[in-house]
Amino acid sequence: MTERQVSPLPEAARNRVLAHAAAQSGVMNGLAQALWQRPELGYLEQESSAALAAACEAAGFAVTRGVADLPTAFVARRRRGDGPVIGLLAEMDALPGFSQDASPRRSPIPGQSNGHACGHHLFGAASVGAALALAAWQDETGTGGEIRLYGCPAEEGGAGKVYMARAGLFDDLDIALHWHPDDCNTVWQSRSLASIGARVRFHGRTAHAAQSPEQGRSALHGLEAFHHMAALLREVVPQGSHIHYVTLQGGLAPNVIPDFAESHVNVRHPDPRIAAEIFARLEAAAEGAALGTGTRAEVVRLGAVHSILPNATVGAVMQANMAVLPRIRWSDEERAWAEELQQSFDTPPPLERIGQLDPYRFDLQGAFSSDVGDVSWIAPTGALGTATWVPGTRPHTWQAVAAGGMSIGWKGMQAAAEGLAVSAAQFLSDPALVAAARKDHRAARGEGYRYRALVGEAPPPLDYQRDHG
Ligand SMILES: [Zn+2]
Ligand SMILES: [Zn+2]
């Protein structure tokens, strides 16, 4: 895949989009604070989803709630005349065990367990702010096209976008844009890994292990044979494949032949089609293991996501615009706050990093998986990151929660909304760029490609976070 170069949105238009983004800062800050103060876990984001959807509705978007049989997913649409459909993804879920106030030292909030340790409250609020700014800019300039905001629940382990993709909600999208909170500013078009997870269960027959072993059929033997075959399989799969497994249950006492054993397996590969092939071979291995041990195998798919498919044109548009947008600047108070927080790091990077744009990350292979992957195989997709966190902060840490609850997080969120809105405005103004992105997309997917969710027909795991609720 070759990298592309494009010019940014012309300055006059850029300044108008930035003015509309600035006008949304109050709405964005309000949403970010509301979500941060009430962090909700995956598929339980009732209030967060309602707040984001209501903000869209108040700006004249038509909102459909509960899409794809996900109670907290929604789609907000606003069309003006002819033109492409530009989708903005908005996440909103928090993580369990990350209670933290907005101070630069470890300080959990009493009585609270959840926290926005991945910054998805900023994610959702900035995407909504960008959508609202674009709608106002369209009204001012008469630019045609549809702005569509996707309220995507349960990114953290629930893969909400997969079920939205399976329901066809991204099928008529021309371009999908998203972002993620970070400790630096960056445009990235990296590949991730497709991932399929499953429980593999063996059902046997229990018996006294010494008195009547011939009566028994050990479910553990089924599991052991399966694990052995999975381990052998690793030698004869394409480069870059990963097969992981852990035993969840293998019996309770050695003098009882176990009638139940269970394993959790995970298959990953950069190409979702190869991940699916390897998974099918594991399913066959489970059948073979059951046959040889006189047990019965049951394979239950849990989550499964596609890898992220980079798009050279979308990445180039985002990179060109991010390069000319105003940089984040902190006040003296914010710097002091950040310096205090950095005392919790061994070797903190310089704070100046928040005022720079990191090198463009194009077509690199990452070792992570994300449900954005499914969107990217359906529509040309691009991502940016902005410094919502103090340099040195990683996702899923208390430091991320802390910065997300104060002005450092909100400034990064504003920068993200600007990057999304200006990039989207360029696609709305230039049909040739949309056509180029679609051409890249077709080439990257290959001839005759048809999207198929790797989860198959499995229902969404709506209760997966309920124990933490
Ligand atoms: Zn996360
Ligand atoms: Zn995240």
Kindly report the CATH number assigned to the domain that includes residue 223.
Answer: 3.30.70.360
| Ligand number with the minimum distance to the CA of 120 | 2
**181 CA to middle of ligand 1, Å?**
10
Q: Kindly state whether residue 276 falls inside one of the protein's structural domains.
A: yes
pLDDT of residue 186: 97
Q: Kindly state whether residue 6 falls inside one of the protein's structural domains.
A: no
Q: In sequence order, what E strands does 99-141 have?
A: none
The HSE-up count of residue 417 (CA atoms within 13 Å, CB side) is 33
Same domain? For 81 and 55 the reply is yes
Return the percentage of the chain with pLDDT > 90, whole number. 94
Supply the DSSP symbol for 104. S
Same domain? For 318 and 334 the reply is yes
Same domain? For 126 and 183 the reply is yes
Residue 103 sits in a domain whose CATH number is: 3.40.630.10
**What six digits make up the tokens of 199?**
């429980």
Residue 107 has pLDDT above 90, yes or no: yes
Of 250, 276, 303, the one marking the end of a domain is: 303
- 120-134 per-position pLDDT tens digit: 999 999 999 999 999
pLDDT, average across residues 318-340 = 98
Does residue 386 contact residue 328 with C-beta atoms inside 8 Å?
A: yes
Same domain? For 297 and 441 the reply is no
Q: Kindly state whether residue 461 falls inside one of the protein's structural domains.
A: no
| Ligand number with the minimum distance to the CA of 91 | 2
Instruction: State residue 73 phi and psi, 5-degree precision.
Output: -90, 150
**118 CA to middle of ligand 1, Å?**
5
pLDDT of residue 133: 98
Any residues with CB less than 8 A from the CB of 222 and at least 6 apart, and which? Answer: 202, 204, 261, 289, 290, 293, 295, 297
Which alpha helices (DSSP H) does 24-77 contain, by range?
25-37, 46-58
**117 CA to middle of ligand 2, Å?**
8
Nearest to 56 by CA among 75, 79, 35: 75
**334 CA to middle of ligand 1, Å?**
24
What's the whole-model pTM score?
0.94
**437 CA to middle of ligand 2, Å?**
25
Separation of alpha carbons 101 and 114, rounded Å: 11
Same domain? For 267 and 292 the reply is yes
Residue 388 has pLDDT above 70, yes or no: yes
- Provide the 3-class DSSP secondary structure of residue 97: coil
Q: What letter represents residue 342's amino acid? A: Q
pLDDT of residue 468: 66
pLDDT, average across residues 405-421 = 98
pLDDT, average across residues 345-355 = 97
**159 CA to middle of ligand 2, Å?**
11
Residue 422 has pLDDT above 60, yes or no: yes
Same domain? For 41 and 157 the reply is yes
| Ligand number with the minimum distance to the CA of 123 | 2
Any residues with CB less than 8 A from the CB of 211 and at least 6 apart, and which? Answer: none
Residue 469 has pLDDT above 60, yes or no: no
Does residue 219 contact residue 204 with C-beta atoms inside 8 Å?
A: yes
**104 CA to middle of ligand 1, Å?**
20
Same domain? For 328 and 292 the reply is no
Tally of structural domains, the chain: 2
Separation of alpha carbons 138 and 178, rounded Å: 20
| Ligand number with the minimum distance to the CA of 119 | 2
pLDDT of residue 4: 84
Q: Kindly state whether residue 430 falls inside one of the protein's structural domains.
A: yes
Same domain? For 215 and 99 the reply is no
Task: Please give the mean pLDDT across all residues of the chain.
Answer: 96
Number of Cβ atoms within 10 Å of the Cβ of 390: 30
**156 CA to middle of ligand 1, Å?**
6
The HSE-up count of residue 337 (CA atoms within 13 Å, CB side) is 19
- 35-49 per-position pLDDT tens digit: 999 999 999 999 999
| Ligand number with the minimum distance to the CA of 396 | 1
**396 CA to middle of ligand 1, Å?**
6
**122 CA to middle of ligand 1, Å?**
13
Which burial class, exposed, middle or buried, applies to 231 when counting CB atoms under 10 A from its CB (0-12, 13-18, 19+)? exposed
Same domain? For 434 and 335 the reply is yes
Of 274, 303, 332, the one marking the end of a domain is: 303
Q: Kindly state whether residue 254 falls inside one of the protein's structural domains.
A: yes
**192 CA to middle of ligand 1, Å?**
14
**78 CA to middle of ligand 1, Å?**
29
Same domain? For 435 and 356 the reply is yes
Q: Tell me whether strands 74-80 and 242-249 are parallel, antiparallel or unpaired.
A: unpaired
Q: How confident is the model at residue 429 (pLDDT cuts 50, 70, 90)?
A: very high
- Its domain, for residue 15, covers 11-192+307-445
| Ligand number with the minimum distance to the CA of 182 | 2
Helix or strand run (H / E) with residue 311: none
Q: Kindly state whether residue 5 falls inside one of the protein's structural domains.
A: no
- 205-261 per-position pLDDT tens digit: 999 999 999 999 999 999 999 999 999 999 999 999 999 999 999 999 999 999 999
| Ligand number with the minimum distance to the CA of 178 | 2
Same domain? For 199 and 331 the reply is no
Helix or strand run (H / E) with residue 384: strand 381-387
| Ligand number with the minimum distance to the CA of 157 | 1
Residue 1 has pLDDT above 80, yes or no: no
Supply the DSSP symbol for 403. H
| Ligand number with the minimum distance to the CA of 383 | 2
Does residue 318 contact residue 380 with C-beta atoms inside 8 Å?
A: no
pLDDT of residue 424: 98
**365 CA to middle of ligand 2, Å?**
18
Cα 305 to chain centroid, rounded: 10
| Ligand number with the minimum distance to the CA of 98 | 1
Of 234, 268, 303, the one marking the end of a domain is: 303
Q: Kindly state whether residue 203 falls inside one of the protein's structural domains.
A: yes
| Ligand number with the minimum distance to the CA of 388 | 2
pLDDT, average across residues 192-202 = 96
pLDDT, average across residues 304-326 = 97
Residue 2 has pLDDT above 80, yes or no: no
pLDDT, average across residues 189-212 = 95
Residue 303 has pLDDT above 90, yes or no: no
Same domain? For 167 and 206 the reply is no
Q: Kindly state whether residue 469 falls inside one of the protein's structural domains.
A: no
Separation of alpha carbons 387 and 350, rounded Å: 13
**393 CA to middle of ligand 1, Å?**
13
Beta bridge partners of 79: 146
**309 CA to middle of ligand 1, Å?**
19
**16 CA to middle of ligand 2, Å?**
30
Separation of alpha carbons 414 and 179, rounded Å: 12
pLDDT, average across residues 88-98 = 96
- Provide the 3-class DSSP secondary structure of residue 404: helix
**95 CA to middle of ligand 2, Å?**
10
